[in-house]
Amino acid sequence: MRIPRRFPETGWLALAGLAFVLLRLPSFVEPAWYSDEGIYASIGWALDHGARLYVDVWDNKPPGVYWVAALLLRVLPPTLIFPVAATALAAASTVLVGRIGGALGGRRVGLLAAGSFMLASALPNLQGNLFNAEVCGATLTAAAIALLVGGAGRTRAFLAGVLVGVGVLFKATVAVDVVVVAGVPVLLAWARQGDGHGRWSRPALAGSAAVLAGGAAALAGGAAILAIQGSLGGAISMLVTQDLAYVGVFDSQGVGGALGTIALALRVGAPIAIGGLVAVHFARRGRTGPMVAGWWLGWDAAAAMVSSRGFPHYAQQAEPALALTAALAVVGLWTCIPSGAVRRASRGRVLPGAARHAAAAAGTALLVVAATVGLAWLPGAERALLAGRPIPGVLVDGISAPQVPTYYVDGYAALFDSGARDRFADLFPVNLDVQAAAVAALEADSAPGDTVFVWGSIPWAYVLSGRMPAGRYVSLNTAYWVDPRAPSVLRAELTDHPPQAVVSVDPPPGWLLGELARSHYELLSGAADGENVWLLPGRAARRHAGIVPA
């Protein structure tokens, strides 16, 4: 399978760049709808205005995504920070995956890996249109592996460790990639010996130690920043209680006790074991490409399946390894098929070169997309099977696969026609009218910087209105419901720091209604697109007098 060289290299790059832009352009006109992004943005905004992470504002992820949101909000409007961040990370990852493929399998592998990753990482049904912590971790891990396959040396290894260590600050499951990256120097040295005995050299072991040292340095730096901000204790509590509770709550639904533990161990342990055996097999034969791909994919597939909730973005951590593996498999298969067999299969006709290359590219992309869907679907299917329930379909958390053509048609139309934006916005599973009404109510009934609170889940409300959350939970999402202490903590915070306005999009509990009554809040029934708004007495009087907050 030869890559045609008649077409100038700059021409291929231009085509790849155009495809990348076309795949990602509609994300820039998406409305502010995705709850996770809203949480990142509202917490980032609060951090920029003096709040402390894991003390004044809270969510169940490591600090990286909130720090990035806070940084980007200083230079970009809230609705643009995540399309910009996701696009930049996808561009970097595409280049890195191509470089890794080229170093381990040659130019053909590099091109196929980069192209298939570019597609899979952009598809909206796989949540490629969104910014998630897994994307950050995947990019940093790919950068670390690209450093190691590009050359030896302890300095490179240390920098690779720093990169993957920073990745852990975005997503706890990236910790498996510390193992992946630390194992690469030893595996490369083993494979390059060529004797099949697997003697580990001291330089290789020193490289692995340097990776671990770099990872520890990055984590120590993150911990130091949290300690300076007074947030380290809260971060540790979040990691050892809420993160584990998050996995446990959903994995125990219908599958409890020893059976649930065995199921979790199986779906996590099996890919690690298979990947390790594949790595050893190819290391003994001196084949570095499939060795690194098997090692990397085994660990990242396990990380993607730790939780059985089945969100598509869980599998994004494994997409670079999937693209590399698929490209190596397609090129290997192509090489193994004799040309005579191809002629006989095609009745003596040989496909033109361009068609064969297109078929290889399509096959690689199809493998990556199917495997990404499978990684997200398998944990939920396993849990349903063990619980005796019907096996579920693929979870849709935004755009479904059948909606992808409509997403691009309406997304491109929305770029040039403001009237088409409403039609585009209707694709997303959020009541944007309620969100807009809640933001308008907060802006009308409080001043910039005032503390307000939304009972329910409209996490975008705080950053879009420029108001501070009165309680630590910017959304009553999983981070709130998995912690049995959360209601009492939130109640104390709202009592100690009464919000200027309260918007209720879910039925409020009795204790909240009692607190509102004791503080003499005035109810404006149906003020936010049918939702209720409560105002402090002073704010209510100003509203009735027609005074707009300063």
pLDDT by residue (tens digit) across 226-266? 999 999 999 998 888 776 666 665 555 555 667 777 888 89
Worst-scoring range by mean pLDDT, 18-32, 242-256, 273-287?
242-256
The per-residue pLDDT for 175 is 97
* Residue 348 pLDDT class (50, 70, 90 cuts): very low
User: Where do runs of H (alpha helix) occur along 106-201?
Assistant: 107-120, 133-149, 154-168, 175-193
The per-residue pLDDT for 227 is 97
The per-residue pLDDT for 181 is 98
The per-residue pLDDT for 525 is 82
Residue range 15-41: mean pLDDT, rounded: 95
DSSP tag of 504: E
The per-residue pLDDT for 338 is 58
Kindly tell me if the per-residue pLDDT of 550 is higher than 50.
Answer: no
Owner of token pair 């309620």: 434
Burial of 220-230, coded b for 16+ CB within 10 Å and e otherwise, reads eebbeebeebe
Kindly tell me if the per-residue pLDDT of 342 is higher than 80.
Answer: no
The per-residue pLDDT for 179 is 98
Kindly tell me if the per-residue pLDDT of 353 is higher than 70.
Answer: no
DSSP tag of 394: -
Worst-scoring range by mean pLDDT, 206-210, 444-448, 462-466, 492-496?
444-448
User: Is the distance from CB of 499 to CB of 511 less than 8 angstroms?
Assistant: no
Kindly tell me if the per-residue pLDDT of 315 is higher than 90.
Answer: yes
Worst-scoring range by mean pLDDT, 67-71, 257-261, 531-535?
257-261
Residue range 164-179: mean pLDDT, rounded: 97
Kindly tell me if the per-residue pLDDT of 548 is higher than 50.
Answer: no
Question: Tokens representing 143?
Answer: 């950068």
Kindly tell me if the per-residue pLDDT of 184 is higher than 60.
Answer: yes
